[in-house]
Chain A
Amino acid sequence: MNPHDNTTNRLLRRYLDALAADPHAEPPAGLDESDVALARALTQAHHSLPLDHAQRTRIWTRINTAPQPRTISTLAPPTISPSRNGHADHVDYHMDYKETETMTITTRSWPRQRQDSRSTAQRGLGTLLLVTAAMILIVAGVLVLRGTGDNEPTDPAGLPGDGAFGANQQETPTLDITAMAFVQQTLEPPAQTATRMMADAVQTAYAEAVGTQVALTLEGVVGTYGAVVGGPTATPTPTATPMMAVITATAAFGGDITLMVPLTVVNFSLDQLVWSPDGRMIAGMVGAEVWLFNADNPDNDPIVLTDQTAVTALAFSLDGRYVVAGHEDGSLVWWNTAQWLIVRAEGLNAPITGLAFSPDGRTLLVETGGEVQFWAAP
């Protein structure tokens, strides 16, 4: 079996995950004896027996007798940094989960909200366009909701912006949501202070619209935040496939929670998408391809730029003339946006993991193999 085979590598990684959860997990089909032995040896090599009571007590005693408090530099306050390609996952996050087990939620149509966000984004927030749009939407959502004087919306027809989603409340579609852009939580007494929630803490978000009920479950590295059950609501129609929707949730104890959730578009997640500087296009990575959507109508067929190896980073040049793609094999490819042709290609030694243009657009930062290189833009 070819050790360079990506499929087998994936199988091996999956088997390692399975072994971490269950040491007796059976290997998936497709792994040969050597791969199975390697996976088991790797798992075993990293394994430690659980600490016994004496060890736990000993460590705990040391902790309790250590001088307190101490300042640690690793826990600096989160920041929003327009680094690299401005992906949402470059935004450190605050998250202060409040005890909101049950919330009533309603949906708002994407197109109206998106127009609002784009007009704001175009005022010049550069590579953070998408995140900014999310924030504006959230604030707008909260304001509109409050403007109705109804913290527990029950009639979708009475909510502005229901538009497309509210057209047919009898449908019972299911929406798959692959990533969460931003979550804003505004809590009022008796809740505590308003908090901001994560940008990329959530790996996946999943929403279901069943009848007049909507359940929202957010799953990610911090786990499920809570099932959100409520209704009746405007029912999102899966055929509309908007890029984003705003789901406004009202906490059971009276606070408002606005959730900003991108819906599935060919299985993109937010960290794979970048806006063009003029806000007219959205580029996404799919394997060895770059997909370009018309931002005004993302349902239209995208432009697909195909290359040899997986795309791992994307950036638009600030003048909008180029889309730069970084690849898993270290190739750095410049596509012009006029004819969608490769006008320049470089070969670097390691996978490219991040791209960002300098504010003046003359320099491209390329993160590869743990280092950042400076390239002159054409």
Chain B
Amino acid sequence: MERTRLMVHTTPNRCPEDDAHTQKDDARSLRAARDDLAQFAPVYERYVDRIYAYCRTRVGNSDAEDVTSQVFTQALSGVDGYRGGSVAAWLFRIAHNCVVDHLRGQRSTVPLDDLEWSLLDTGRDVLDQIALAEDVRRVRRLIAELPDEQANLLALKLAGGLNAKEIAAAVGKTHVAVRVELHRIIQRLRVAYRAEIGEVDT
């Protein structure tokens, strides 16, 4: 099977308009929201998909909307506490705490078999889609076996679209520590994935 030609039909987690100008706009909107809460709307519009993707990865489909709304509610009520810097990092720090609160006292309820077939590129060969779906299930199993902290870092990076500095700001670590940890996570997943598909390490 020509796996290298497998394509998924997705929108990037990191918005292409994530440029400096927009970041400045976000910071400006947050400050304006201190006096006029309606000014928060552009920030919500820009980040809700990424926050939702992160929450969905961490808490599952059924609770993702609820936790997402908690994130923005807290962000809105705490907008006075925004001290500048990356708006994304600030929001994901709140999201991280909301997710931790949500998961506290319960195991993650993310089902492993709820792959949304609609995510897959319908323009691709059916066999390719099946192969990708199987890979995704396999990877989800592997992620479920990761320590929660590692799964969280992975979700912040891949679902939230954050870079190491933003992740560091969100979880209260140094970016060096985050980079080292991401390195270890990828290495661990590579080893586990190869073992899953029966590939012998060389």
**Which A residues form the contact surface with B (CB < 8 A)?**
1-4, 6, 8-9, 12-13, 16, 20-24, 27, 33-38, 40-51, 55-56, 58-60, 62-63, 66, 68-72, 74-78, 84, 87, 89-90, 93-97, 99, 195, 197-198, 200-201, 203, 219-226, 271, 312-313, 328, 351, 353-354, 367, 370
Contacts and interface: CB of A to CB of B under 8 A. Distances in A.
Contact of A41 (B48, B65, B136): B136
A196 to B, nearest CB: 9
Given A89-B176, A93-B85, A201-B86, A48 B159 contact: yes
A203 B163 CA distance: 10
Interface in B5-42: 6-14, 16, 18-24, 27-28, 37, 41
Given A68-B77, A71-B77, A201-B85, A41 B176 contact: no
11 contacts: A12-B190, A33-B3, A34-B197, A34-B199, A37-B3, A42-B158, A46-B155, A55-B65, A66-B69, A72-B78, A200-B165
B184 to A, nearest CB: 7
Contacts of B22: 223
Contacts of A9: 183, 186-187, 190
B120 to A, nearest CB: 8
B149 A223 contact: no
A41 B77 contact: no
B78 A90 contact: no
Interface residues of B, number: 100
Contacts of B109: none
Top 3 A-B residue pairs of the complex, sorted by shortest distance between their CB atoms: A95-B84, A224-B20, A75-B81
Given A40-B132, A45-B143, A75 B82 contact: yes
Interface string B153-172: 01101110101011011000
Given A1-B202, A23-B7, A42-B189, A72 B20 contact: no
Interface in B66-107: 66, 68-69, 72-74, 76-78, 81-90, 93-94, 97
B199 A198 contact: no
Contacts of B37: 68
Contacts of A27: 4
Given A47-B13, A95-B85, A221-B88, A41 B7 contact: no
Nearest to B178: A353
Nearest to B65: A59
Contacts of B85: 93, 95, 198, 201, 221-222
Contact of A353 (B11, B53, B180, B191): B180
A156 B12 CA distance: 47
Interface of B is mostly: helix
Interface string B101-133: 000000000000000101110000000000110
Residue picked from A13, A94, A195, most chain B C-beta under 10 Å: A13
Contacts, number: 260
B84 A13 contact: no
Contacts of A225: 20, 24
Contacts of A226: 24
A271 B176 contact: yes
Nearest to B76: A63
Contacts of B158: 16, 20, 42-43, 45-46
A74 B159 contact: no
Contact of B168 (A2, A76, A89, A195): A89
A219 B165 CA distance: 12
Given A3-B190, A45-B139, A354-B174, 5 more contacts: A9-B186, A13-B186, A51-B52, A72-B74, A222-B87
A35 B186 CA distance: 10
Nearest to B182: A13
A40 B18 CA distance: 22
